Structure 1
Amino acid sequence: MQTAEIRRRWLDFFAERGHTVVPSASLVSDDPTLMFTVAGMVPFVPYLTGLVPSPFPRATSVQKCIRTLDIEEVGKTTRHGTFFQMNGNFSFGDYFKETAIQYAWELLTTPEADGGLGFEKKDLWVTVYENDDEAVTLWKKIADLPDERIQRLGMDSNYWSTGQSGPAGPCSEIFFDRGPAYGKEGGPAADDDRYIEIWNLVFMQYLRGEGSGKDFQILGELPQKNIDTGMGLERVAFIKQGVENLYEIDQVRPVLDKAAELSGRRYGAVHEDDVRMRVVADHVRSALMLMSDGVTPSNEGRGYILRRLLRRTVRAMRLLGVESATFPALFPESRDAMKSAYPEVEADYDRIARLAYAEEETFLRTLASGTNILDVAVTTTKKSGAQQLAGDTAFLLHDTFGFPIDLTLEMAEEAGLSVDRAAFDTLMLEQRTMAKADAKAKKTLLADLSVYSAFRAVGETVFTGYEFLETDSRVLGLIVDGVAVNRAAAGDIAEVILAETSLYPESGGQEADAGSIVGNGFDLEVLDVQRPVKGLVSHKVQVRSGEVGVGDAATSVVDAEWRRGATQAHSATHLIHAALRETLGADAHQAGSYNRAGYMRLDFNWNQALSPATRSEIEEIANAAIRNNLDVETRVMPLDEARALGAMALFGEKYGETVRVVDIGGPWSRELCAGTHVARSSEIGLINLVSETSVGSSNRRIESLVGIDAFRDLATERAIVGQLTSTLKTPREHLPDRIGELIQSLKAAEKKIAQFEAAALSQRVPAIIDASTRVGELTVVNENVGTVATSDDLRSLVQSVRARLGSDAAVVSLAADVGGKPAVIVATNDAARARGAKAGALAKIAAAVLGGGGGGKDDLAQGGGSDVGAIPAALEAISNALPR
């Protein structure tokens, strides 16, 4: 049974039983505590916890998920994959334990010919929470399972909670017995390789108190009991398809086979090769799905995870013996395997391919650079007589250059060296500990979202700002320091929840409105406007005067000038995007934006800098759209209808079933957008494109000033040009040539000055030599020569003095003030070095006195620091360190 067929049967089964079919949410999670959607229930958490009222009593979905915590285990086991799909059915205060068990057993054991999944009852085992007698009774009643096939397990495996105060409850899991060839008898409690978990049913029925681990109290039963169940689609697929693991199912195996073909190695022949092929198959699919949801490779956040997946793929192919680019062969295989379930991967493949192929090319160059660094480290290690490459070197290669540790180990071994893996692992542990601490801190900061639950239960905040800049409403709630309060007084910083608001909450790249909230006896300055939970707007305010209380009448007032500037900037962003696509083609997709009054920036997928001519063309097209006074139309319609009209969606953004479409000039610029916009394009005024820069290997960023800010910037430039024409007595059109001539003249003058300074320094050589002294058998020159222009000048002077001293043993140490910083250069000749005088060691001694660092070769070395006043002491330290 194909994976897509299992998916279809699941959705049909629950749809027929009154469940709303909810499309998969993006892999980019709405939950601010999560980087990705890591479980099928994540999109439903606000409904399950009661934070947001559920729009349906029961639902079902097949949710895309990404988990990378166990990335090192990928390919080694039957059940570790970074991308997976979770089939779920959910009840929000509707049916509970008995019906959930009934549905699960019915779908699993109904014959394939009758629309079920066709599992044999004899192959299924069940686990329940150790104290859940009700579940045991129901399993016996519904499934007629004998006692020995129902195993009671503890809280660690069969109890669910968020880890904080809130909903909790027992779980029941269904396992498939793969047979004696895969392990010992005894059920899931005895062997989790033989018995594969395929379905988990969470019975959310209790309210738990504070505490950690098992140390918490059950405060009572929930007034609304919920069901959250999940069936692993890939696990069921590999069982139904009769293959050994999830890497061999129809949606994954084609990439594995292509990796085998490219490498010339046979899958199933060598375990290490098999693991690498599985890693390739898993990671290519995961990367494909992440990029289809708008994630792009970068050095932080989600982009870093994607980059890591792509680079681990390159690493695995290299270990399979393939050092050339392979993504153009691998990614089309994954696209074709996944497109029946997710058509977007085919529709967006040109963009995905451009990102993936560029990332592979970049990393192949990185590997070449890392190899050079590793080669130097290996040579240095061997020269020192050591047999082990330092752990910090391996960590530097991994952390800074993205050089995989496995590759470092392999190449070091080829050179006859081991790697200090313990030191490397210690550094990695420190890094992970810091990352976990940071993640925990972020989670803690957002752990009190339940404070909004009561306000959200009243209903959604009505946004009136599209039509009105002022709206009368009432205060539904006040929050100070994360706690709901009844009143806030002058000077307090608080969050205000209103029933209606005209103030735009930050979203879609548009900064929140500036403004105020006023009422009888109070005046609140609005500092920020956000949506902490779906459907609820919170205003962060400072009470300027008076006292505000829950229930008070209040009026939200938008700063009209701010809003005007914000609408100009947001509409300008749409024009620039349309101009980009007209100039560069449909592949120039927007990858993020930010706009506020007077300014906009737009990131887009492109892997090379724009020429000055292209930048000018984009700017001209956008400003022509302003001059043409195009109509700006906004419409609200179903998402499918908007897509059918060709409305552009920002990758990574979340859209509901009903969306707002903004047209500027009809289909020329047609985008899904909830932001505020001008009524006609001429109201934007002016767009002044001020920069175009790189923000990654495959992303560029355009920044523009808009409206009056654009005019002021151009006026400033005009004033500067006017001043230059007056000062240089040159017409504006001839300024570039005139300035070029002046630059050439300046360079020629600087060259002559440098020559004069060098000649003046060389004339000091005899006097410096005359000041030499004898230390033991050495002729020593130890002088502060004052101020010199550059360290190169000082080095030339030192070398000239050493040459004039001849072949007698000599040490030359000259110090100077170079640009306000002390520098010392030490030179020795052959005879001096034979007597133990080493320039590098002497320069380090002087640098330590100067408050800096230094070193070099035995014949010539340099040191520096921060304290010019310490030069005499540094020279004395050199003298004291000379061999006698």
Structure 2
Amino acid sequence: MQTNEIIKRFREHFERNGHSVVPSASLLLDDPNLLFVNAGMVPFKPYFLGEAPAPWPRATSIQKVVRTGDIEEVGKTSRHTTFFQMAGNFSFGDYFKERAIELAWELITKSQDDGGYGLDPERIWVTVYQDDDESIALWQKIAGLPEERVQRRGMEDNLWSMTVPGPCGPCSEIYYDRGPQFGEEGGPVVDEDRYLEVWNLVFMQNVRGPGGAKKDFEILGELPNKNIDTGMGVERMAALLQGVENVYETDLVRTVISKAEELSRRRYGADHTDDVRFRVIADHARTGVMLIADGVTPGNEARGYVLRRLLRRIVRSARLLGVTEPVLATFAAVVRDTMGSSYPDLVTDFARIESIIKAEEDTFLTTLTAGSKIFEVAAEEIRSAGRAMLPGDKAFQLHDTYGFPIDLTLEMAAEQGLSVDEDGFRRLMAEQRARAKADAASRKTGHGDQSVYRELLNLGATEFTGYAELASEATVRGIVRDGQRVRSAVEGEIVEVVLDRTPLYAESGGQESDAGVIVADGLDLEVVDVQKVAKKLWVHQVRVRGGELVEGQHVEARVDQEWRVGARQGHSGTHVVHAALRQVLGPSALQSGSYNKPGYLRLDFAWTGGLSEETRSEIEEVSNLAVRKDLPVKVVYTSLPGAKEMGAVALFGETYDEEVRVVEIGGPWSRELCGGTHVEHSSQIGPITLLGESSVGSGVRRIEAYVGIEAFRYLATERALMQNLAAMLKVPDADVPGRVEALVERLRVAEKELERLRGAQLLSSVGQFVEQAQDVRGVAVVAVAVPNGVSAGDLRTLAVEVRNRLGSRPGVVALFSVDGSKVSFVVATTAAARDLKLAAGKLVPAFAPVIGGRGGGKPDLAQGGGTDATGVDKAIAALRAEVDRAVAGS
């Protein structure tokens, strides 16, 4: 049974049984605890946590999932993967254990002809939490499982929680016996390779306290509503139903391996080392494409760094298989072809995905070149020092700074007869991970005590009136100070206020929150900020400027009208610039982030190279033409599938309710899902002036602009600047660029002439330096400090010229240049000196520490620098002493 059929049957089974079908959420959710969505229930966490009411009593989804904790282990075994699909069914206070077990058992054991998976009931085992007698009785009642095929397990295995205080509950896992050829008999407690877990049913019924992530915590009590969260691993079920040994041999994954076989002309299954590489390619290709499709771009931090690692591991694995041509786009196309039916965005957005991975592959190939040079220098230093092991810190530097996988460093070292301090490398890697974990822990908010907001949410969601009015009568539902609900607040205090209705926009979708006031007789509150909690509750941070605020009080909330005018211009301007980008650059130039406030907008978009001046001008012109055309702005409320059918653009990482708001500017020209405030006609945006465009990461560009009165002020400032320049240069405005260009050219010519004269002056002093040579055991040693300010390049030229003047006699030249506290130096040796074993690179360690520096190079020429200029005289003495020692010992 093909994977797509497995998914179809799961979805249809639960839809027939009253579940709402919920599409997969993005892999990127606004959750401080998670880098990526790592479980099928993650999008439903607000409902399980009681932060928001569930839109449906029961739901089902096929959720894409990425787990990156074991990246280094992927490929080494056939079990580790980073991307998989989790099929789940969920109940929010509706059915519980009995119905959950019935639904799972029916689907997995019903014959394939009747729409099930047709697993043999006699080969099914289950585990339950150690004291969950109720589940054991239900399995025996519903499935007729004998006692020996129901096994009890402890808290670490069969008590689920989010690893922090909050909801938890016993779980029951379903396993399938694959037969004696896969391992020992005795059930999953004995061998989880033979007994493959395919389904986990979580009975969310309790609240846990603080303690360990998986065990050693206290059960505090029961939840008010008992919930069901189950997950079936789609790829694992595919392995069973397709009769293959592991997920890498299933239909959607094996196709990537087949392409790698074709490119490498090697065969999967013939060699374990090669198999590791094939599996890395297959797994990481799927994960990488899915992450890019959801808006991640390669970078050096957080999600971007994970993606970069994955893509570079693919390239490296392909190289180790003997493939030298670019490969990422080829593997991405296979993923698109195999998974596009389930995830249509892979097809429609492939041009953007392909451009990002091609750029990353090009970057990595350059990195390989640069890193290889760093390795060569390090290897030479090691051999020169008579050692044979690359230090762990150098291997870590190659990994951390240049993106070199450790296996690449090991291979390159072996080729040169060197070993690598792997223990030191692993220790530094462990320290880095520990720092990352500590940083993540410090940033975690977890699911702390939000009971105060849940209490207020139970009173009903805040009604947002700001689309229709700028002032609304309201009632104070709650006042929060320092996380605690209070009855009142007085002048001078800063508190949070929840109203039953408000016209003040809460920060979201890149738009800043509204400025405004909340007033009543004798009461004056300045609104400092407005945020949403659980997408339903508007929380106003206010400063009490006068009077006393009391819970239950009737007030009026007012938006600052000038602020709203500017905010609407900024947000609508963002949509216009986005549409202009897509018109000029093509549909792959998708927004990946934005920020707007009155008079200003910033938009990040997927693009791999800088924009020319002509392209920026064209984008600006298209934007302003849209403003001049006075395009109508229309808001449409529809379902998410309906919005996609309309061609509306959805933003990466955003989650949407069943009913969505589509904002159109000029009909299909600009059509985006958006909850922000907007103008009624595009002419109300006013002029749009682009400020600039820059890179904010690999594959992501940023464009900034002023709109409305801010754009006018910016242009007025530019005009005044031009007029001042024209007055200074005594030319008309139109002639300013030409006159400035002429002045710059004259300056460039003058600088070149100065450089030539300075070089000639330096070379004129070569004879003086040669005359200062001191004889050290028959070697002419020129070791002097040259005039301050000589550049490293000039210092090198000067040293070579002095060496040449020494002719055929043994000679060592060491020149030092001081710039403040910094020191640059160059060491050069004649051929006769090198015959005496005086190598420039080996002389450097004798004096460099004296000036707090380091350096290196070849036997004939070496250079470096230091940070202690006071040590130059001692360094010169140390050099002479080293020449004396070396010649005496030769």
TM-score (norm: length of structure 2): 0.90
2:511 matches 1:501: no
Provide the aligned C-alpha RMSD in A: 3.3
Deviation at 1:122, TM superposition (A): 0.6
Q: For 1:875, which of 853, 873, 876 is the aligned residue? A: 873
**Residue 279 (structure 1) aligns with:** 280
**1:321 equivalent in structure 2:** 322
Could you say if the C-alpha distance between residues 90 and 390 of structure 1 is closer, same or farther in structure 2, counting changes exceeding 3 Å?
Answer: same
Looking at structure 2, the residues matched to 763 and 292 of structure 1 have their Cα atoms a distance apart, in angstroms, of 63
1-structure distance, mates of 2:824, 2:487: 69
2:696: which partner in 1?
695
Give the equivalent residue in structure 2 for 1:56. 56
SS in 2 for 1:528: strand
**2:735 matched residue in structure 1:** 734
Residues 1:568 and 1:389: Cα distance change in structure 2 (over 3 Å): same
Mapped to 2, the partners of 1:863 and 1:533 lie a distance apart of: 58
- For 1:815 and 1:188, locate their aligned partners in 2 and report how far apart those are by CA, in whole Å: 71
Distance 1:107 1:415, change over 3 A: same
Deviation at 1:179, TM superposition (A): 0.8
Q: CA deviation at 1:813?
A: 7.5
Confirm or deny: 8 A CA contact 1:39 1:86 kept in the other structure: yes
1:228 matched to which residue of 2? 229
Specify the alignment match of 1:145 in structure 2: 145
Shift of 1:318: 1.7
Residues 799 and 395 of structure 1: is their aligned pair in 2 closer, same or farther, counting only changes over 3 Å? closer
Aligned position for 1:574: 575
Q: Is the 8 A contact 1:519 1:555 kept in 2?
A: yes
Give per-residue Cα distances to partners, 1:730-782, cap 9 Å, x unaligned: 22222222222222222333344445555666777888899999999999888
8 Å CA contact retained: 1:465, 1:503: yes
Aligned equivalent of 2:127: 127
Segment drifting more, 446-455 vs 228-237: 446-455
- 1:806-856 Cα offsets, whole Å, 9 max, x none, are 9999888877764x5554657687699999999889988887676766777
* Amino acid aligned to 1:115: G
**Alpha-carbon separation, structure 2, partners of 1:827 and 1:364:** 33
CA contact (8 A) 1:826 1:843 kept: no
Cα distance change of structure 1 residues 239 and 835 upon mapping to structure 2, 3 Å threshold: closer
> 1:155, CA displacement in angstroms?
0.8
Give how far 1:148 is off.
Answer: 0.8
Q: What's 2:333 paired with?
A: 332
- Residue deviations 1:348-399, cap 9 Å, x none? 2232223233333332333333334334434443444433222222222222
Q: Distance in 1 between matches of 2:436 and 2:615?
A: 41
Contact map agreement 1:79 1:235 (CA 8 A) in 2: no
| Corresponding position: 1:467 with 2:468 | yes
The amino acid that maps onto 2:151 is Q
Residue type of the alignment partner of 1:291: I
- Between the aligned partners of 1:364 and 1:856, the Cα distance in structure 2 is 25
How far apart, CA to CA, are the structure 1 residues paired with 2:806 and 2:828? 11
Match for residue 888 of structure 2? none
Asked if 1 retains the 8 angstrom alpha-carbon contact of 2:311 and 2:328, the reply is no
Q: Are the structure 2 counterparts of residues 799 and 40 from structure 1 closer, same or farther at C-alpha, using a change threshold of 3 Å?
A: closer
Q: CA deviation at 1:23?
A: 1.8
SS for the counterpart of 2:557 is: strand
Do the aligned residues in 2 keep the contact of 1:475 with 1:550 (CA within 8 Å)?
Answer: yes
Whole-angstrom CA distance in 2 between matches of 1:372 and 1:801? 29
Cα shift at 1:244: 1.0
Q: Which residue of 1 aligns with 2:887?
A: none
Q: What's the offset of the Cα at 1:8? A: 2.0
C-alpha distance in structure 2 between counterparts of 1:471 and 1:271, whole Å: 70
Name the stretch that deviates more: 27-36 or 777-786: 777-786
Match of 1:657 in 2: 658
Distance 1:719 1:137, change over 3 A: same
Structure 1 residues 736 and 138, CA gap change in structure 2 (3 angstroms): same
Q: Greater shift after overlay, 374-383 or 191-200?
A: 374-383
- What does residue 195 of structure 2 align with? 195
- Give the stretch that moved more between structures: 759-768 or 664-673: 759-768
Q: Assess if the C-alpha contact under 8 Å between 1:807 and 1:829 holds in 2.
A: no
Residues 781, 880 of structure 2: 8 Å contact kept: no
In the alignment, what sits opposite 1:161?
161
- Tell me the equivalent position of 2:181: 181
Unaligned runs of 5+ in 1: none
Which region of structure 1 is more displaced relative to structure 2, 229-238 or 445-454? Answer: 445-454
Contact 1:33 1:446 survives alignment (8 Å): no
Corresponding position of 1:104: 104
Q: Work out the CA distance in 2 between the residues paired with 1:781 and 1:416.
A: 37
- Tell me how far 1:877 sits from its aligned partner: 6.2
The answer to whether the aligner puts 1:25 opposite 2:25 as a matched pair is yes
* Bigger shift: residues 808-817 or 460-469: 808-817
Question: Matched residues in 2 for 1:455 and 1:488: separation?
Answer: 17
- Supply the AA of the counterpart residue of 2:179: G
> Following the alignment from structure 1 to structure 2, what is the Cα–Cα distance between the partners of residues 824 and 336?
57
Deviation at 1:540, TM superposition (A): 3.0
| Structure-2 separation of matches of 1:323 and 1:396 | 25
Distance (Å, rounded) in 2 between the aligned partners of 1:777 and 1:375: 34
Cα distance change on mapping 1:55 and 1:648 into 2, 3 Å: closer
8 Å CA contact 2:829–2:859 kept in 1: the answer is: no
Match of 1:7 in 2: 7
Which deviates further from its counterpart, 661-670 or 551-560?
551-560
Q: Distance in 1 between matches of 2:175 and 2:697?
A: 45
Letter in 1 for 2:68: T
Count, aligned residues: 880
CA contact (8 A) 1:171 1:201 kept: yes
Alpha-carbon displacement from aligned partner over 1:459-513 (angstroms, at most 9, x marks no partner): 2222222222222323323333333333444444433322222222222222222
- Match in the other structure for 2:171: 171
**1:483-632 matches, cutoff 5 A:** 483-632=484-633
Change (3 A) 1:78 1:124: farther
Paired residues of 1:811 and 1:826 also in contact (CA < 8 A): no
Question: Closer, same or farther in 2 for the Cα pair 1:217/1:607, shift >3 Å?
Answer: closer
Q: Could you say if the C-alpha distance between residues 215 and 716 of structure 1 is closer, same or farther in structure 2, counting changes exceeding 3 Å?
A: same
Q: Is the 8 A contact 2:795 2:826 kept in 1?
A: no
Shift of 1:136: 1.5
Secondary structure of 2:299's partner? coil
| Alignment partner, residue 65 of structure 1 | 65
> Cα deviation per residue 1:52-97 (whole Å; 9 max; x = unaligned)?
1222222222222111112233334443221211121222222222
C-alpha separation in 2, matches of 1:766 and 1:245: 76
Superposed displacement of residue 793, structure 1: 6.1
User: Partners of 2:774 and 2:370 in 1: how far apart?
Assistant: 48
Tell me the distance in 2 between the aligned counterparts of 1:348 and 1:823.
53
Aligned counterparts, 1:654-733, within 5 A: 654-733=655-734
C-alpha distance 843-553 of structure 1, shift in aligned 2 (>3 A): farther
Q: Does 1:209 align with 2:209?
A: yes
Deviation of 1:795 after TM superposition, in Å, equals 6.8
Partner of 2:81: 81
Between 1:203-212 and 1:147-156, the stretch displaced more is 203-212
Aligned pair in 2 of structure 1 residues 334, 772: CA closer, same or farther (>3 Å)? Answer: closer
Whole-Å Cα distance in 2 between the matches of residues 781 and 386 of structure 1?
Answer: 30
- Aligned-partner residue type, residue 168 of structure 2: A
Task: Give 1:97's aligned amino acid.
Answer: K
CA deviation string 1:218-263 (max 9, x = no partner):
3332221111111111111111111111112222222121211221
Q: 1:479 to 1:801 in 2, by over 3 A?
A: same
Give, in whole Å, the separation in 2 of the partners of 1:624 and 1:410.
58
Give the unaligned 5+ runs of structure 2.
885-890
Cα distance in 2, alignment partners of residues 169 and 328 from structure 1: 44
What is the distance in 2 between the residues matched to 1:840 and 1:250?
A: 57
Contact 1:167 1:208 in 2 (8 A): yes
In 2 relative to 1, CA 806–177 (structure 1 residues): closer, same or farther, beyond 3 Å?
closer
Q: Deviations over 1:36-56 (max 9, x none)?
A: 111111111221222212222
In 2 relative to 1, CA 775–482 (structure 1 residues): closer, same or farther, beyond 3 Å?
farther
* Change over 3 Å in CA distance of 1:827–1:18 after alignment to 2: closer
1:377-428 superposed Cα distances (whole Å, 9 cap, x missing partner): 3444344443322222222222222222222223332333332211111111
The separation in 2 between residues aligned to 1:811 and 1:379, in whole angstroms, is: 21
Q: Distance in 2 between matches of 1:801 and 1:75?
A: 58
Q: Residue 362 of structure 2 corresponds to which residue in structure 1?
A: 361
User: Does structure 2 retain, via aligned residues, the 8 Å contact 1:51–1:457?
Assistant: no
